[in-house]
Structure formats: C-alpha cells, structure tokens
C-alpha cells in the first residue's frame, strides 16, 4: 500500500454532446457542478453556446496518509503523471437480467450478441488503450481511435455509421488537468447506435448490435519528486454515466450508502458491525443525526420536486427529530418510531402494505420487480446500515454534531452520495457489482482491485481480484438511454411505483406556468378525447419531464413512447435546479431545449 492515494476512489464522469465545453462534477453533497476556475455553474452552464449538453468531468486528487493533498504546488513535487485506461465491455458481457448473476452467472445465462463467438467477442469491446497526461492545464488528451498508443494490441472501436443519429463512436472521452495538475476525466459524447438503419430498441437493458460510449477504468498516478524519487499512487477508478439532470437532489439510497453498507457488513467498520454483530442499544453505535439521519429525511422531502409525491407526508420537523433525548426529556420518541415503522425493513423487499396497514416506504421499485423467480425483490429498501442507523435514532441513541470528516473521505462520500445506490435494475451509474466485496481491496474497503497495466487485449471474463477497464459499466443497459427512458414508473401489482426520481426526474416544476392561451399548453392539457383530462385535473404546475402525465397506462407516461427517442433527444432534456421564485426556494426545470409538449414530428 502506497502512502499516496487517488481520491475519490471511484469518480463519476458523465456524457454530454458538447465537444469541448465541460464542467467538473459536484464535489460536495447535492452541490452544483463547478467550472474549471472553481465557480459554481449557473443554469446557463449546463449547455454550450450552441445549446449542446456539456460533459461532466470527474476530478481526481492525490492525498497522502495525513490527508494532505499533493498537487504540483506541493513543495518538492516535480511532476505528477496520470494514466487512465477506459473501456466499454457492455456488448461482450452477459445480458442484464435483474439480480441474476450477482452471485455468479449460471451456464444458462445468455450473453449479449450471442451469435458472435470465440475471439471475435473481443471485437464487441470498445477499447482505446491507456492514455497518459502530465503537467498543469494540460490536454485534452483524447481517448479516441486515432491516438491508440504504439504497442497496445487491444484497441477496438465500432466501425461505420451508427443509427438512428447517423454518427459514430470514435472516442470514449479525454483527459485534462486543472491548474494544479489534478486530473480531469471526460467521458464520451453520448453517442449510442447500431449499424442497423432500422435502429429499433427491443428492451430496457439488452439490445444486440447496439453500442454506447460510456466506459470505465483505472486511474493511476505517479509522483516524481525533485530529488528524483518516484512514488506510485494507489489507483482509483473512473466510470462514465448518463447526465445528472437534478444534481442538487439525492436518492434515498445513494451509491455511497450501498458501497459503505457492503463494507460495514464485511466488518470494515467494527464500531458499527463487528463479526456480523450490530452494535445496537444505548451502549452501541450512535449515528450522527447530521450525517447519517437527516440526509435520509431530506432526500424523501426533495423527491417531491421530481415526482408526483405528496409533500405533506414528506415534510419533517428537523429540529424536533434531531433533538437528542437528554436527561429527562424526549419529546419526539413517538414521531421517530412512527417514521421508522413506515420504512421497509430488511428482508421485506416484497412487502408494500405493512401489517398495520400503512404503505411501506420508499414507494420505489426494487432490484427485481421484472422477473419472476427466487430472487424477486419488488420494492426498494434502505440498506442494512441505513436501517440500523434509523433504529438507533428512533430509540434515542444518537448524537447531533458537526461532522469532522477529513477532506479525502468527505470528497469520496460526496461524489458517491450524488449517485444512485438502488434499485439496481440495472441503475444509473453502477449496478449491483458495486456491492460485491470481491472487487474491493481488503486494506482499503472503497477502493477497487485494479489489474496491472496491460498491453491488451482485455479479457472477456470476471476477475474481481484484478479488475480491468470496462469491468464496472458492462453490467449496465446497452444503450443506457433504453433503461433511462423506461425506468421512470413501474407497474407492480395494482400500483405504479417510481424508479430514481432524483436522477431521472418524472415530474418537474416549471419556473413559470405556461399561459392558458398558449396553444401548445392547451393541446397538452386537452389530450385526446379518450383521455379526458381537463386543465384543472392536471397539476397546476408540475409537469412530466418526458412524455405525458395524466394516464399511467400510456406508453409515453413520463417517458418517450419509444426508447430510440431517448437516444435522439436525451441531450435536450431539462435540468432541475434550485432557484428562488416568488420569494421562496424551489427546484424547477431549467436549460431545456426539447419542446414541451414533445412531438416526434417536430
């Protein structure tokens, strides 16, 4: 183990179709992205001058054992050299079939593009080979088909024109450095397509012949000191995901929660759970209201901005709920217990209505509500660790204090807290592979076991002790737009549940009401004769982010009727951003270039 590590251990870049403009992904929890100069972006910052959607760079930093950041400005540092090797292995991997495969695939599990056999399957990977960058303000260093390093034998890109957009995948992104020599990784341009001009998408996760330009891989660094010494830094991982359309809203279960939970249960945090034994009760672990409880309540509250969810039931008296029972007083025990009782406990992933008759929360679809079988998991629940914290809190065993988290750990948590940690069907950034302890280092529970650098080609199998480029994102939907479009609402039994409202908005508020004399609005409100919504039955100003919102059985209910349309129009969708409107803070849709109502003939 080195004395130097790259942070965050997992960083997330996001696609965009703007070729040059980009911003840096939020490095604070529920923060807005920033510019390279360090300014928080405004609503104008989501797009370039031509209205194209900017890419989100993942920034990586180096910290030493004492949590001091090492940059080019650090005394004694001569240079910092970064090496990134990203790949996209989606087309070469198994089909995604909910949670099947999490404990290893069976021999009956179908491969994607199964007609491609043997060594030809390596041609189902997109692999630009490794790239290196050094210095301050350097780059861009493209990870494209033109610049494959000499000697790298595994390079491959899809050939020819891809439909429906008649474009091609020529790059997985680029590397840059900021003014202090920190690494910026940009992902692909959001190009997805197939060689088949018909360009049909058959289902949400597996579409043979299709490609997209997401990817992932290790981020390595070396520090060269003035005295000639060279230190190798513990590698991190970068993964490329869809855009974050509501960056200031977090999911109830974040990627941090999921990875942290897997580490807790594996015994890496013995003050919480030791040898499988939870430290509960008055003498046990006391969660901090500010970092371990309040965020969960806030996430429930802010969902109401991006889904048709009643605000009353999701508004909480934080002062009361954060009051630590002391001495002779506990004025909120009943309310804390009431909240705990509403939440779906572990092992009740298929319970919607509790024995007392209440609808269990979250009202979100689970890991497997799509396939029958032994692994059915209809509804999302909190992680074991989240639930344990809430149990302790409800019982009154908690603290409420300002956290003192060291910078690198805070950065890690913030970056991952801005990502989805469930349901994994497959998900937005990463799926259930993220909670497989086998892929993480024993001595550093959030850091992935990176394989040694290779001259290629990459392998087709699963080597958790030596993870290769492409080994994280290959589980995700191909193309990502298919899952992103379809996973808006989910009928389960006689209910319609939501997927990831904070990452993939379902209903949004507008800055201003469309005027009733606006022809387009009237058309939307009137619908077709059989739908019979009247303007007053529509929510006065909450609107479907995509599609229509009045009939939950329609193909275009809060989605495009055809997944291919998401491939065409994803970059025109609006972002949800906090703004002060009429004297109060609201989260409203901004920077949308797609007309509303949407008409595919436009």
Partner 1 sequence: MSTTETVAAPAGLFSRLQAGPTRKDLQDAAQLALQVEFTTVPTYLSGLYSISDTGSYAYQTLRSVVMEEMFHVNQAANIIVALGGVPKFTGDAVPVFPGYLPQANPDTTPYLGLYRASPDVFRNVYEAIETPAAFGAPAQGDNYDSIAQLYSALVNAVESYDGNPFTTDGPGRQRTDIYLGKFGGNVEPVVDMESFKLAVQEIIQQGEGTVPPQAPMNPLEQYGSYNHYGHRTDGTYGPIIGTPYELSHFMKFRSVANSPKDFPATYPVISNPNQDDYTNPQAQQLSWVFDLCYTLMLHAFEKSFSADAPDPYFNVVLSIMHGVLPHLARSLMQTPALRDGDGSVGPNAAPGWRSLDGGSVSPDTLARELEHILTGYTGSRADTTVRSLLHEAHKNSVEVATLSEQLGLNSL
Q: Enumerate binding residues for partner 1 (CB under 8 A).
A: 304, 308-313, 317, 320, 328-335, 337-338, 341-342, 352-359, 491, 494-496, 509, 532, 534, 536-537, 539-542, 550-553, 586
Q: What is the DSSP letter of 453?
A: P
Q: Which is nearer to partner 1, 160 or 326 (CB)?
A: 326
The least CB distance from residue 584 to partner 1, in Å, is 9
The CA distance from 75 to 181, in Å, is 14
Characterize the bridge pairing of strands 575-581 and 584-590: antiparallel
Say if residues 558 and 507 touch (Cβ distance below 8 Å): yes
End-to-end CA distance of the chain: 57
The least CB distance from residue 36 to partner 1, in Å, is 36
The CA distance from 328 to 111, in Å, is 62
The least CB distance from residue 329 to partner 1, in Å, is 6
* Beta-bridge partner residues of 59: 184
Site of tokens 């850091």: 447
Q: Which is nearer to partner 1, 210 or 363 (CB)?
A: 363
The least CB distance from residue 108 to partner 1, in Å, is 35
Say if residues 25 and 56 touch (Cβ distance below 8 Å): yes
Q: Which is nearer to partner 1, 155 or 510 (CB)?
A: 510
Q: Count of residues for the chain?
A: 602
b/e per residue 107-135 (b: at least 16 CB within 10 A):
eeeebbbeebeeeebbbbbbbbbbbebbe
Q: Which is nearer to partner 1, 70 or 394 (CB)?
A: 394
The CA distance from 162 to 160, in Å, is 6
Q: Which is nearer to partner 1, 335 or 399 (CB)?
A: 335
The least CB distance from residue 363 to partner 1, in Å, is 8
The 3-state DSSP class for residue 58 equals strand
Site of tokens 């939970």: 261
The CA distance from 398 to 184, in Å, is 39
Q: Which is nearer to partner 1, 359 or 600 (CB)?
A: 359
The least CB distance from residue 310 to partner 1, in Å, is 5
Peptide bond into 457 cis (omega under 30): yes
The least CB distance from residue 27 to partner 1, in Å, is 32
Q: Which is nearer to partner 1, 353 or 526 (CB)?
A: 353
* Torsion, CA 188, CA 432, CA 249, CA 589, rounded to 10: 50
What is the chain's alpha carbon radius of gyration, rounded to the nearest angstrom?
A: 24
The least CB distance from residue 359 to partner 1, in Å, is 7
Site of tokens 């360090």: 38
Q: Which is nearer to partner 1, 202 or 337 (CB)?
A: 337
Q: Which is nearer to partner 1, 279 or 495 (CB)?
A: 495
The CA distance from 175 to 185, in Å, is 5
The least CB distance from residue 82 to partner 1, in Å, is 47
Longest dimension (CA), the chain: 79
Q: Which is nearer to partner 1, 136 or 352 (CB)?
A: 352
The CA distance from 364 to 347, in Å, is 16
The 3-state DSSP class for residue 8 equals coil
The CA distance from 471 to 469, in Å, is 6
The least CB distance from residue 463 to partner 1, in Å, is 45
The least CB distance from residue 184 to partner 1, in Å, is 39
Q: Which is nearer to partner 1, 339 or 478 (CB)?
A: 339
The least CB distance from residue 513 to partner 1, in Å, is 9
The least CB distance from residue 496 to partner 1, in Å, is 5
Q: Which is nearer to partner 1, 211 or 543 (CB)?
A: 543
Residue 101 region, left (φ>0) first, then alpha (ψ -120 to 50), else beta? left
Q: Which is nearer to partner 1, 285 or 332 (CB)?
A: 332
Q: What residues contact residue 403 under an 8 Å CB cut-off, 6+ apart?
A: 288, 290, 291, 410
DSSP string, 531-571: T---TTTS-SSEEESSSB-S-TTSTTBTS-SSHHHHHHHGG
Q: What is the DSSP letter of 425?
A: S
């Amino acid at each position: 183990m080195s004395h130097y590590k790259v942070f965050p251990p997992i960083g997330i870049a996001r696609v965009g179709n703007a070729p040059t403009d980009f911003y840096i992904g939020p490095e604070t929890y529920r923060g807005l992205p920033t510019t390279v100069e360090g300014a928080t972006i405004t609503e104008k910052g989501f797009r370039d001058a031509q209205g194209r959607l900017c890419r989100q760079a993942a920034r990586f930093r180096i910290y030493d054992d004492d949590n001091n950041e090492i940059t080019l400005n650090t005394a004694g540092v001569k240079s910092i050299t970064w090496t990134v090797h990203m790949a996209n292995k989606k087309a070469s991997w198994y089909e995604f079939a909910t949670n099947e495969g999490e404990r290893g695939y069976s021999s009956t599990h179908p491969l994607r593009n199964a007609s491609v056999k043997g060594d030809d399957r390596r041609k189902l990977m997109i692999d630009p080979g490794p790239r290196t960058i050094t210095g301050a303000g350097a780059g861009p260093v493209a990870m494209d088909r033109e610049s494959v390093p000499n000697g790298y034998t595994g390079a491959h890109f899809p050939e020819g024109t891809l439909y429906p957009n008649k474009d091609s995948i020529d790059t997985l992104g680029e590397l840059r450095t900021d003014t202090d020599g920190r690494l910026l990784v940009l992902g692909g341009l959001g190009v997805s397509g197939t060689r088949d001009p018909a360009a049909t998408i058959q289902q949400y996760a597996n579409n043979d012949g299709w490609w997209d330009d997401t990817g992932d891989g290790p981020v390595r660094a070396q520090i060269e000191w003035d005295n000639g010494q060279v230190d190798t830094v513990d590698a991190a991982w970068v993964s490329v995901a869809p855009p974050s359309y509501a960056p200031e809203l977090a999911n109830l279960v974040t990627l941090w929660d999921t990875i942290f939970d897997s580490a807790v249960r594996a015994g890496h945090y013995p003050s919480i759970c030791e040898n499988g034994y939870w430290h509960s009760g008055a003498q046990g672990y006391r969660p901090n209201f500010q970092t371990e409880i309040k965020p969960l309540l806030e996430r429930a509250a802010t969902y109401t901005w991006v889904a048709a969810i009643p605000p009353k039931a999701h508004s909480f008296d934080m002062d009361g709920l954060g009051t630590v029972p002391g001495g002779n007083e506990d004025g909120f025990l009943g309310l804390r217990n009431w909240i705990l009782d509403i939440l779906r406990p572990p092992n009740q992933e298929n319970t919607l209505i509790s024995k007392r008759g209440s609808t269990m929360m979250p009202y979100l679809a689970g890991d497997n509500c799509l396939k029958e079988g032994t692994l059915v998991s209809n509804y999302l629940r909190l992680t074991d660790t989240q639930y344990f914290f809430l149990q302790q809190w409800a019982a009154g065993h908690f603290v409420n204090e300002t956290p003192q988290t060291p910078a690198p750990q805070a950065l890690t948590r913030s970056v991952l807290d801005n990502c989805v940690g469930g349901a994994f069907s497959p998900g937005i950034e990463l799926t259930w592979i993220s909670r497989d302890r086998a892929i993480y280092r024993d001595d550093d529970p959030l850091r992935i076991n990176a394989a040694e650098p290779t001259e290629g080609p990459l392998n087709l199998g699963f080597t958790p002790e030596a993870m290769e480029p492409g080994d994280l994102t290959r589980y995700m939907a191909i193309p990502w737009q298919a899952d992103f479009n379809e996973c808006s609402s989910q009928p389960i039994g006689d209910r319609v549940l939501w997927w990831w409202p904070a990452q993939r908005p379902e209903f949004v508020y507008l800055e201003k009401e469309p005027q009733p004399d606006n022809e387009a609005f009237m058309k939307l409100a009137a619908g077709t004769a059989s739908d019979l919504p009247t303007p007053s039955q529509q929510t006065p100003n909450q609107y479907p982010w995509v599609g229509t919102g009045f009939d939950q059985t329609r193909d275009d209910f809060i989605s495009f009727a055809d997944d291919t349309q998401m491939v065409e129009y994803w970059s025109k969708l609006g972002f949800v951003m906090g703004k002060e409107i009429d004297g109060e803070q609201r989260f409203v849709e901004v920077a949308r270039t797609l007309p509303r109502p949407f008409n595919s003939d436009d």
